[in-house]
Each structure stands twice: as structure tokens, then as C-alpha cells.
């Protein structure tokens, strides 16, 4: 069987197993390394070739496709990652890093359950780090931390091993103060990031390595080893021993919630209908047999398929030909194509169950923020707001 066909089988099998799905976003202040990290995760998972990471070209065993170099707008991508001998499907939503795109970050946060917050080890937290963190917490999206550009601490700032530990510790403390200041209840409920537990990883997206406490245990590479490899300029060995995608994806799978764990808390925040209703229960449990509840978070134009609505499916199943109500529209719409993501490619399927991020065509009345449902009169999801609030001051 060809590589592509195998991947199609893995992805379509995983979409039916919500425990094996993680819907996540990567958020960062501009230039802290979000793009470099995303491309490396995809390349590491074999979804794009390592040489082409950054150019966003889908890797395929089909040589012709490679030669044609299919370029895809990779605003939604997926990866299959193996953790503890099991396959997981990680759906990654792209979030713009620039401050002007705050609204888009909020949209992306609506679709996901967890976020990897990327921070430049040298620059530390910046205003946009605070904004994206606040947006995540407001949408009930759980954070983990990736401290990037650690190579710069050693090679540019020439800090010693002890100083490096102190700096990283201070950065983690600062992020925790922000989380506590923004949402104390969540902070106390275990959303504090903790290097000892494994909710913090640090490394270098540029040089393809990352480490965390669980990764140290797994690989036998110590903090001092990391420091020494960096100082000696041997990033290659470090990348072989501690590959970036493994450290980060392991952290995502182990510490960010799957849709079954996340949806009750998330829908309580983003949907204010009757909590005792059938649809509330169905969304809380990601019931694929319940009424449809799909929230549109992005609309894009596809040269072949036309307008594509991407979003998060909280309840029911999206099926080709299904007649649905779009919030605010007078008449029902009919779903034409239904797709999930495989790498940066959209893969057409018959039906997609709750818990997934899906792309559909045929929703001619949908806009970003629309609620799409089979339940006539369903209370729509809360509108997507990008509120700019004063920055939390941390002493």
C-alpha cells in the first residue's frame, strides 16, 4: 500500500475515536517562532518533507504530485503522532502572530481545546503573548508552554548552565503569574504550567530539538547534556536524540484535553443555551448521534470547491447532503462536500463525527461565527469577540 493511502486510512480511522484527537492552536508574539515550530512539527510527523518545511508543500509518495509541488494554504493542518505505541490525530489551527490579527486568534481559539504558547527565551513574554494567552483562557483553551530559541541564550548571550536554568525558571514563573492573574480558578484547577510535570518544553525550533522533563526521562539526555551540545554547536546530535516534534507532540497528547474531556467546559463558556437540554448534553459528550452543532471559524475560497467553511463540530455528524439551519439565514442550506485535514490537504469523506475540525461546502449563508445545526431554533454559539483589555501587570 502506498504511503498516502496508509495515511488516509490512519486519519479516517482516528477521526472516529475522539480520545485519540487533540485540537490545538499555536500562539505566540510575532517572531517568537510559531511558523518555524509548526513547519517542523509537520515535517517531523512526515506530513511535509523536511527539506520543504517552511514552503508548505505536501509530501507525497506520488512523485508526480511532488513535482507538481502542490502548494496549499495551510491554515488548518493535521498530523498523526505516535505516543506510547498508539496513533493520535493532532489538528493544528494556524493563528496569526500579529497584533492586528487578534480577532483571528480568537476565532482559531474557538475551534481548539488546547494551545501551545511559544515564547522566545531571550525576549521573554511580550504584549502579544499576554493577549493570546488571555484569549485562550477566555475561550477555555488549556495552555502548555514551549520556550523557543534556547540556542540564543547559549550562543548569543553566553549564559552558563546555571544562569540558563534560572532564566527559564523566571520565565515560567512569569507565565504562571499571568495565567493566575487572568483566570485564578483555572490556574488552581491545574492549568498552571510546570516543568517538573511536563507542561513546559524548551528547545530550538530552528535547529529541530526540544526537551522536557518527560523527554529527559525517555531519552536519558540531561539538562547539562543539552547545554553542552549547544555550546559545542552540535545541534545535529541534539536534534537526533531529542527531536522537536516528539517533545512537543508528546506534551500535547499527554497534557492537552481530548474533545470528550474538553467539550463540557468549553461549551459552558461559548454557548449560553439551556444547560439541561438535549443539545447541551450532546455537545458536552461529543455525541456523534446527537443533533448537529457546528461552529464556523473560517471561510476560505477554494479554486475548485468554491467557498469552504471550516469549523469545530461539537455535536452530531456532518454528512454529505444533510440539510442544515445556518444561524441568521431564512432558509436551510444543504451540505455538499465534507472534509477533514490530512497534513495541509483537505480529504473528502462521507461523514465526520463530533469532536473534529471539519471543512464543508454548500453553506452559502454561513459567515465566520455562524452556528450550523439540524435543530430548528437552537440557541447559537456566543458571537466571537476580540475584546482588548488592559494588560495584566505582574509585579
Q: Does 380 bind ligand GDP (CB under 6 A)?
A: no
How many of the other CB atoms lie within 10 Å of CB of 383? 9
Q: Is 287 annotated as a binding residue?
A: no
* Residue 149 labelled as part of a binding site: yes
The answer to the question of whether 129 is labelled as a binding residue is no
Minimum distance, C-beta of residue 141 to ligand GDP, in the bound complex (Å): 18
In 3D space, the residue among 343, 287, 267, 354 whose CA is nearest the CA of residue 319 turns out to be: 354
Whole-angstrom distance between the N-terminal and C-terminal Cα of the chain? Answer: 59
Footprint of ligand GDP on 88-117 (CB under 6 A): 97
Does residue 245 bind ligand GDP (CB under 6 A)?
Answer: no
Shorter beta-carbon distance to ligand GDP: residue 97 or 353 = 97
Phi–psi pair at 360, nearest 5 degrees: -135, 155
150 is known to lie in a ligand binding site: yes
Q: Which burial class, exposed, middle or buried, applies to 33 when counting CB atoms under 10 A from its CB (0-12, 13-18, 19+)?
A: buried
Candidates 14-22, 73-81, 88-96, 198-206; binding stretch for ligand GDP (CB under 6 A): 198-206
Among 75-83, 99-107, 145-153, 353-361, the segment contacting ligand GDP (CB under 6 A): 145-153
* Cell numbers that stand for 145 in this block: 508552554
Q: Which of 20, 78, 17, 10 is nearest to 345 (CA)?
A: 78
- CA angle centred on 172, ends 171 and 177, rounded to 5°: 95
What is the pairing mode between strands 114-120 and 21-28? parallel
Binding mask 206-235 for ligand GDP (x = CB under 6 A): x-----------------------------
Specify the residue, 122 or 299, whose C-beta has the smaller distance to ligand GDP. Answer: 122
- Cα–Cα dist 83/299, whole Å: 33
Q: 131, 204, 249, 361: which one contacts ligand GDP (CB under 6 A)?
A: 204
Is 386 within any annotated ligand binding site? no
What cell was used for 220? 536519558
CB of 52 to ligand GDP, least distance (A): 15
CB of 205 to ligand GDP, least distance (A): 4
Please identify, among the stretches 16-24, 27-35, 185-193, 283-291, the one whose residues bind ligand GDP according to the rule CB under 6 A: 27-35
Kindly list the distances between the CA atom of residue 249 and the CA atoms of 46, 48, 92, 257, 372, in Å, as whole numbers in the listed order. 13, 16, 11, 13, 31
The SS3 call for residue 355 is: coil
Interacting residue with ligand GDP among 23, 35, 212, 310 (CB under 6 A): 35
- Which one of 151, 246, 250, 298 is in contact with ligand GDP (CB under 6 A)? 151
d(CA 148, CA 141): 21
The residue within the footprint of ligand GDP, chosen from 22, 110, 134, 149 (CB under 6 A), is 149
- Contact set with ligand GDP (CB under 6 A): 28, 30-36, 97, 148-149, 151-152, 204-206
Q: Which residues are annotated as a binding site for GTP?
A: 28-35, 94-98, 148-151
Amino acid at each position: 500500500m502506498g504511503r498516502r493511502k496508509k495515511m488516509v486510512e490512519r486519519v479516517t480511522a482516528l477521526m472516529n475515536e475522539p480520545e485519540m484527537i487533540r485540537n490545538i492552536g499555536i500562539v505566540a508574539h510575532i517572531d517568537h517562532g510559531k511558523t518555524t515550530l509548526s513547519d517542523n512539527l509537520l515535517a517531523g510527523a512526515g506530513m511535509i518533507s523536511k527539506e520543504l518545511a517552511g514552503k508548505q508543500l505536501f509530501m507525497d509518495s506520488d512523485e508526480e504530485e511532488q513535482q507538481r509541488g502542490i502548494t496549499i494554504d495551510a491554515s488548518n493542518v493535521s498530523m498523526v503522532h505516535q505516543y506510547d505505541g498508539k496513533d493520535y490525530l493532532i489538528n493544528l489551527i494556524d493563528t496569526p502572530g500579529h497584533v492586528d490579527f487578534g480577532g483571528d486568534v480568537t476565532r482559531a481559539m474557538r475551534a481548539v481545546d488546547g494551545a501551545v504558547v511559544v515564547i522566545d527565551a531571550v525576549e521573554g513574554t511580550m504584549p502579544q503573548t499576554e493577549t493570546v494567552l488571555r484569549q485562550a483562557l477566555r475561550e477555555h483553551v488549556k495552555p502548555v508552554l514551549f520556550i523557543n530559541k534556547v540556542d540564543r541564550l547559549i550562543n548569543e548571550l553566553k549564559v552558563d548552565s546555571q544562569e540558563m536554568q534560572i532564566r527559564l525558571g523566571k520565565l515560567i514563573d512569569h507565565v504562571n503569574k499571568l495565567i493566575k492573574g487572568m483566570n485564578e480558578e483555572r490556574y488552581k484547577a491545574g492549568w498552571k504550567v510546570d516543568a517538573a510535570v511536563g507542561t513546559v518544553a524548551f528547545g530550538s525550533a530552528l535547529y529541530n530539538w526540544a526537551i522536557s522533563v518527560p523527554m529527559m526521562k525517555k531519552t536519558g539526555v540531561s539538562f547539562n547534556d543539552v547545554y553542552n551540545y549547544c555550546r559545542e554547536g552540535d545541534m545535529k546530535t541534539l536534534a537526533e536524540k531529542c527531536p522537536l516534534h516528539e517533545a512537543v507532540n508528546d506534551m500535547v497528547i499527554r497534557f492537552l484535553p481530548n474533545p470528550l474531556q474538553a467539550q463540557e467546559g468549553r461549551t459552558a463558556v461559548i454557548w449560553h443555551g439551556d444547560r439541561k437540554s438535549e443539545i447541551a448534553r450532546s455537545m458536552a459528550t461529543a455525541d456523534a448521534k446527537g443533533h448537529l452543532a457546528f461552529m464556523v471559524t473560517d471561510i476560505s475560497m477554494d479554486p475548485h470547491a468554491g467557498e469552504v467553511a471550516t469549523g469545530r463540530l461539537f455535536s452530531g455528524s456532518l454528512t454529505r447532503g444533510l440539510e442544515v439551519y445556518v444561524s441568521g439565514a431564512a432558509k436551510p442550506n444543504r451540505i455538499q462536500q465534507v472534509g477533514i485535514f490530512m497534513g495541509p490537504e483537505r480529504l473528502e469523506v462521507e461523514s465526520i463525527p463530533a469532536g473534529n475540525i471539519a471543512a464543508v461546502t454548500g453553506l452559502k449563508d454561513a459567515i465566520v461565527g455562524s452556528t450550523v445545526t439540524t435543530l430548528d431554533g437552537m440557541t447559537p454559539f456566543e458571537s466571537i469577540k476580540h475584546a482588548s483589555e488592559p494588560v495584566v501587570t505582574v509585579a
